[in-house]
């Protein structure tokens, strides 16, 4: 199982939100590049970077930080937030992202997202499936659609998606545990889909539970910042 620390960026700083609420923002570090270097020094190989300013604005904004992280580390970075055009995608790849995660664009511009899939393949284009009550959320989680999660996944699996990052918004940032039941339902319906679990990870027991399910990867955010999970505990998974 891939251990993927997360760096969410607002105004150039490392932040975490609670349940996607921009009004419930907490700044954890002023320098995302230093955090990325620290994670790499602890043994991390992967990094999930989210441009929350971009997600809200609908265009990539914090790409200079992405470029600096990719230049300063050898981390395998996947990047999301505000990718709404071919230009945005090219900027992300030019800055060094190995993969991108498309969320809002897959809902708002499905033809364009499908074209990215056709061009770059499911290894480089990941699908962001952010959900509340099994309905897809977009635009930095500001809008909850009526799109059913399972219909959405089926549609994009047919188009070549291999990996999803699935965040249960109701769990995110609360340190109350991850959505094991949701991931089990997805696994049952789509056994070949690679699921990256995101949101709610509160301690090493959550990591153990996901590992027992053979989940493909897990994103850890606030639990690392607040030392609910230590890098010493994660060594067995790295």
Q: Please give the positions annotated as active site.
A: 8, 130
Distance of CA 198 to the CA centre of its chain: 7
Instruction: List, as one string, the DSSP characters of 96-107.
Output: T-SEEEESHHHH
Distance of CA 146 to the CA centre of its chain: 21
Q: 225: closest CA among 173, 163, 165?
A: 173
Q: 193: closest CA among 230, 224, 225, 154?
A: 154
**How far is it, in rounded angstroms, from Cα 84 to Cα 99?**
15
């Amino acid at each position: 199982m891939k251990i993927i620390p997360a760096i969410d960026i607002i105004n150039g700083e490392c932040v975490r939100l609670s349940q996607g609420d921009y009004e419930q923002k907490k700044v954890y570090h002023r320098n995302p590049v230093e955090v990325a270097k620290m994670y790499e020094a602890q043994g991390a190989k992967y990094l999930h970077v989210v441009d929350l300013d971009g997600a809200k604005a609908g265009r990539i904004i914090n790409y200079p930080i992405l470029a600096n992280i990719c230049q300063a580390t050898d981390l395998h970075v996947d990047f999301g937030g505000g990718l709404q055009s071919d230009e945005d995608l090219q900027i992300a790849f030019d800055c060094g992202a190995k993969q991108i995660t498309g969320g809002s664009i897959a809902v708002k511009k499905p033809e364009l997202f499908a074209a990215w899939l056709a061009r770059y393949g499911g290894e480089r284009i990941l699908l962001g499936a952010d959900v509340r009550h099994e309905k897809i959320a977009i635009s930095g989680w500001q809008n909850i659609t009526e799109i059913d999660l399972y219909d959405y996944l089926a549609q994009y699996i047919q188009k070549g998606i291999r990996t999803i990052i699935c965040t249960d918004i109701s769990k995110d940032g609360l340190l109350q545990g991850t959505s094991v039941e949701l991931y089990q339902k997805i696994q049952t319906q789509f056994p070949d889909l690679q699921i990256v679990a995101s949101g709610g990870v509160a301690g090493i027991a959550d990591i153990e539970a996901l590992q027992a399910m053979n989940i493909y990867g897990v994103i850890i955010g606030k639990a690392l910042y607040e030392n609910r999970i230590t890098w010493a505990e994660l060594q067995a998974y790295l």
